[in-house]
Chain A
Amino acid sequence: MVDGNPFAKALELILGLDQVLVGIVTLSLQVSLTAVLTAALLGLPIGAAVALYRFPGRALVVTVLNALMGLPPVVAGLAVYLLLSRAGPLGSWGLLFTPTAMVIAQTMLVFPIIAALSRQVVEDLWEEYREQLQSLGASRLRAIPTLLWDARFSLLTGVLAGFGRASAEVGAVLIVGGNIDGVTRVMTTAIALETSKGNLPLALGLGIVLLFLVAMVNATAFLIGEGAKRRLG
């Protein structure tokens, strides 16, 4: 009973500018980009700080950050679910089954990637420029923004890896968002839903649309990076 070609379906979806699909795509981008933005604002400085400062338990922090890059989305989802559920500690906020809950869950998934990668990148740079920066009298705190700015192209790749994780995951948003039609349904949960209805061409068509979106975001980032490099070069 497989009727229809998924590529034709994808094209039809994109060209038809279906109202429901536009809503789902917008929400997907909003949730994932917000999560990446939040995770970057937290992860870049924290990763750099862990790179520069020596403190007891630092090895543990580095190991945990690296390990959390492999945090299964369904576990992150479950943790946020228990936190935000009415019976949980933050239940009174009433955030379960809202887009905000999905942003929180995805931020948990993206933060370790950005923090761990910036820790590595900044640590390597610090090894290289340490004497130079210290001879200029820069403290470690002052060195953080300098090093982050200097490493921005490498860090951009880390941020994009984070975006890839956020836009690809389904386990966390399904649990904390509930896949509510018109409220918390995003691309990945819509694909899972159509797959379970046996509507495979439509599911794959949606998958192609998602890939296309992710490619667009990456291409934009790449072009901006290239443009900036050319300015410098």
Chain B
Amino acid sequence: MVTRVRTLAGRIQLRALLVVIITLALTVPAQTGDRYITLASTTSTEQSGLFAHIIPRFREATGIDVRVVAVGTGQAFSIGRRGDADALLVHDPAGEEAFVADGYGSERRDVMYNYFIIVGPRTDPADIAGVENAVDAMSRIAGTRSAFASRGDDSGTHRAELRLWGLADIQPSGSWYRELGSGMGPTLNTAAGMDAYAVADRASWASFRNRQNLVLLFEGDDVLLNKYASVPVSPRRHPHVRHELALRWHRWLLSDQGQQAIAEFRVDGQAVFFPGAD
């Protein structure tokens, strides 16, 4: 009798488990609703919490949801080129213009800006804390062969860093120059771990929590301007994209309401993006 009860209990358990698994399987969320767009954007905008701040406001105003895929700017262009996103919010003006010129984007508009910064170990072995401009700072890092952590991932920040080396007329190479091939956060983690300098965007830095000995050493040169632009993916190349919805997002970002939402965003009480609709 006892055995039979136990057997029965065992069978019920097994059946119940199977039912749970199959129910879970059947309820895997499928495509829900049509009122959303897919936005390919950068890690800096996502990880700072900007989207968590502005997307609910946009959704409230329009009923449209925005699904953010946060990747490096280079990968965002590739996602857009393949037609896997409806709009981009990225930071590489030259790349954006090429994207539009090639017919993948319908137009490019400045949305907001901030500045790149140079961070490094508190001891500042290259002594860049008081230099005149960013190009000098980069020259000193290279001159003293101080450890430098480069994104090396074809992101907007990586492209900006390469521009700075170009302006300083330096071709960085050697054991001090470490190409990581990873996002901003992992690069800062690594720079903190090996006391290296790095070029970062202000938003990622402000929301980064594992600084250890890393401090902000240089900021405030116009050459470090970091512009973010919105580019809807053109339906001419990819007829399936949700162009109408993407345009509403694009126009909302440029509207007073969108610009104000960006201006109000704070990380630890500090503004990290400034509205800059042209």
Interface residues of A (CB under 8 A from B): 1-3, 27, 29-31, 33-34, 37-38, 85-88, 91-92, 94, 96-100, 103, 178-181, 183, 193, 195-200, 220, 223-224, 227-228, 230-231
Known: A91-B83, A180-B69. A33 touches B21 (CB 8 A): yes
Q: Once the chains bind, are B14 and A97 in contact (CB under 8 Å)?
A: no
B13 cross-chain contacts in A, Cβ below 8 A = 223-224, 227
A29 cross-chain contacts in B, Cβ below 8 A = 24
Contact of A198 among B7, B31, B211 (CB under 8 A): B211
**Can you name 17 A-B pairs with beta carbons within 8 Å?**
A1-B211, A2-B209, A31-B28, A33-B21, A34-B24, A86-B82, A91-B83, A99-B30, A178-B38, A178-B67, A180-B67, A183-B67, A196-B183, A197-B209, A200-B210, A224-B17, A227-B9
Q: Once the chains bind, are A37 and B212 in contact (CB under 8 Å)?
A: no
- Having A34-B24, A228-B10, one finds 13 other A-B pairs with CB under 8 Å, namely A30-B28, A30-B29, A85-B84, A87-B81, A88-B82, A98-B29, A181-B52, A196-B185, A197-B208, A198-B192, A198-B209, A198-B211, A231-B7
Contact of B68 among A103, A181, A220 (CB under 8 A): A181
Known: A30-B28, A97-B38. A198 touches B210 (CB 8 A): yes
Known: A85-B82, A98-B31, A103-B28. A2 touches B210 (CB 8 A): yes
Q: Once the chains bind, are A197 and B47 in contact (CB under 8 Å)?
A: yes
Q: Once the chains bind, are B84 and A199 in contact (CB under 8 Å)?
A: no
What number of B residues sit within 8 Å (CB to CB) of A?
45
A27 cross-chain contacts in B, Cβ below 8 A = 29
Q: Once the chains bind, are A195 and B185 in contact (CB under 8 Å)?
A: yes
User: A-side binding surface: helix, strand, loop or mixed?
Assistant: helix
Q: Once the chains bind, are B238 and A196 in contact (CB under 8 Å)?
A: no
Q: Once the chains bind, are A178 and B30 in contact (CB under 8 Å)?
A: no
Question: What mask results when residues 171 to 214 of chain B are scored 1 for a CB within 8 Å of chain A, else 0?
Answer: 00000000000011110110010000000000000011111100
Asked whether any CB of chain A lies closer than 8 Å to the CB of B3, the reply is yes
Q: Once the chains bind, are A33 and B25 in contact (CB under 8 Å)?
A: yes
B31 cross-chain contacts in A, Cβ below 8 A = 94, 98
Known: A86-B240, A103-B28, A224-B13. A196 touches B186 (CB 8 A): yes
Q: Once the chains bind, are B6 and A231 in contact (CB under 8 Å)?
A: yes
> Nearest B residue to A180 by beta-carbon distance?
B67
Q: Once the chains bind, are A179 and B69 in contact (CB under 8 Å)?
A: yes
Interface residues of B (CB under 8 A from A): 3, 6-7, 9-10, 13-14, 17, 21-22, 24-25, 27-31, 38, 43, 47, 51-52, 67-70, 81-84, 183-186, 188-189, 192, 207-212, 238, 240
Q: How far is the CB of A24 from chain B (nearest CB, A)?
A: 13
B17 cross-chain contacts in A, Cβ below 8 A = 220, 224
B184 cross-chain contacts in A, Cβ below 8 A = 196
> Nearest B residue to A95 by beta-carbon distance?
B31
List the 7 closest A-B pairs by CB distance, nearest first.
A196-B185, A198-B210, A86-B83, A178-B69, A34-B25, A198-B209, A87-B82
